[in-house]
Structure 1
Amino acid sequence: MTASYVAIVLLGAFAGGFVNGLAGFGTGLVALGIWLHVIDPLYGAPLVAICSVAGQLQTLPAIWHAVNIRRLLPMLVGGVLGIPVGILLLGHMAPDLFRLSLGLFLIAFAIFMMFNRSLPAMRWGSKKTEGMVGFCGGILGGLAGLSGPLPTIWVTLKRWEKDERRSVFQMFNLTILACVAISHLAIDGITVAFSQLVLIALPGTFVGAFAGIRLYRRLNDHRYNLLVLIMLAISGITLVVSEIG
């Protein structure tokens, strides 16, 4: 294991942790683009899941006061139930078309919300509706590791204040990605090479998440909302470019 290998893994972990600490999601979006220059692609998804969970657990105390477990429960239960459905759909969907369609949708949504900031907050939505949002998010998580977009869009339409908004999609992503990480470890096992990767990446994740959450505390609701929309747009652009490139 060379010094450059370790440096690249640490850099990717720091960048992913920083974005996670700042926005509450986006570890894989940033880290994978750096990691895949040196690591085996088979290790990418489980490493992202583990580092995401670690970073979100670290920053959870900063938004814990806004967490409402009773309100979150329908979405969390729906998400967990959706994971196996997504896994089952893996062999029955065209992944290229799926990622391209989702990417275009995320770009369109982000642009629409950026230019329509005066729209009133969405008031409707029962526990059943939130359960369905979670279920669909769980399907996307099991299908493509993309559990975050739908809950993030949901709370963006609600226009809650930033801690309340972040508490929803961070707790959702934490739950879904923890299930994904456990599934990967149960199916693929823990190899020496993967254990070394985790031990290298976690310190970078912790430092990055610490820096990100400090900057998050300085953002007002307007700037945080803009940050989330930009992150959704970047996620969409990344998906589209990966399919047409």
Structure 2
Amino acid sequence: MVHVLNTTDFSSVPISMTWLLFIVGAMVAGFVQGLTGFAFALIAMSFWVWVLPPQIAAPLVVFASVWSHIISLSNEQKHPHLNKTLVLPYLIAGLIGVPLGTYLLHIIQPETFKVVLGIFLLLWCPVMFFSPAFPRLQQSGKLADSLIGFLGGILGGLGGFCGSLPSAWVMLKNLSKQQQRYVLRHFNFGIQLFTLLAYLLQGTLVIQLWPYMAILLISVSFPAILGAKLFYKISETQFKHTVLSLLFASGGFLIFNTLL
């Protein structure tokens, strides 16, 4: 029997606060993914990890991320100069990595999950914030892209974090804003859709999760539409710095809370 949104065996947070964190996390993450094409899992988990074990949060975050991608893609403007060859090396390798991530999901402990997520956020955010230039990385080819895609697939299977490494990579490669969003949006959608199917086949999407999936459909939809429409109107640099600051603080709080 799966305990869904039951804090008695995972957190001392009251039920009302659990629902608040669950819904607010979904709304904020939906908006950010609609705007940037990635980071749903990172932001949602920054809220949900306090009240949900990873075995419950992971399938919910993947489901909500897939839904927000569907909404965002339906509101995306067409760009003829962007084509599938840009994202295929990431996507093909990422699909290979997903099964390993879904396997790790069933053996990882909640406290370990918190520490790993917190450390990753503390290391990843400064790199993304300063965006240092590395000429050799900018000249790297499809093999390096495939390796990043494979690692992203593992993180996707582990809990929907497939966009974390690719987002840092495409920025370090100094791709244009449109290219970055194109790679991240289509890679994340493909990997998370495959991960969702893997969860379904493995029995991870148990019937007890369905009511909360319905709530996610409502909570994510409008913020994702708003984010997708604001992409072409808001300064990417300012928004990126705001999001990274929030994620960095979340990583610090996760580590602090775990070590107490």
Q: Same fold (TM over 0.5)?
A: yes
Q: Which residue is equivalent to 1:219? A: 234
Matched-pair contact (CA < 8 Å) for 2:59–2:196: yes
Q: CA deviation at 1:36?
A: 6.8
Q: Which has the higher contact order (CA 8 A, sep 6+)?
A: 1
Among 190, 214, 220, the alignment partner of 1:205 is 220
Identity rate, percent: 32
- Per-residue deviation, residues 67-110 of structure 1 (Å, max 9, x unmatched): 42112111100100112233455688888668646643542343
Q: Which residue is equivalent to 1:136? A: 151
Residue 49 in structure 1 maps to residue 86 in structure 2:
no
Q: Which residue is equivalent to 2:97? A: 82
Q: How many residue pairs align between the two structures?
A: 242
* TM-score (structure 2 length as normaliser): 0.74
Residue 62 in structure 1 maps to residue 76 in structure 2:
yes
Change beyond 3 A, Cα 1:110–1:34: closer
Matched-pair contact (CA < 8 Å) for 2:27–2:223: yes
Q: Which residue is equivalent to 1:18? A: 31
Alignment partners' CA distance in 1, 2:198 and 2:230: 33
Alignment partners' CA distance in 1, 2:243 and 2:83: 21
Change beyond 3 A, Cα 1:48–1:243: same
Matched-pair contact (CA < 8 Å) for 1:20–1:212: yes
Change beyond 3 A, Cα 1:160–1:51: same
Q: CA deviation at 1:45?
A: 1.5
| SS state at 2:138 partner | coil
Residue 182 in structure 1 maps to residue 197 in structure 2:
yes
Q: Which residue is equivalent to 1:104? A: 119
| SS state at 1:62 partner | coil
**Larger CA deviation: 36-45 vs 205-214:** 36-45
Alignment partners' CA distance in 2, 1:201 and 1:92: 26
* TM-score (structure 1 length as normaliser): 0.78
What are the ranges of 5 or more consecutive residues in structure 2 without an aligned counterpart?
1-15
| SS state at 1:85 partner | helix
Change beyond 3 A, Cα 1:232–1:167: farther
Computed over aligned residues only, the root mean square deviation of the Cα atoms, in angstroms, reads: 3.7
Instruction: Supply the AA of the counterpart residue of 1:56.
Output: H
Change beyond 3 A, Cα 1:28–1:74: closer
Matched-pair contact (CA < 8 Å) for 1:67–1:168: no
Q: CA deviation at 1:158?
A: 1.8
Q: CA deviation at 1:187?
A: 1.7
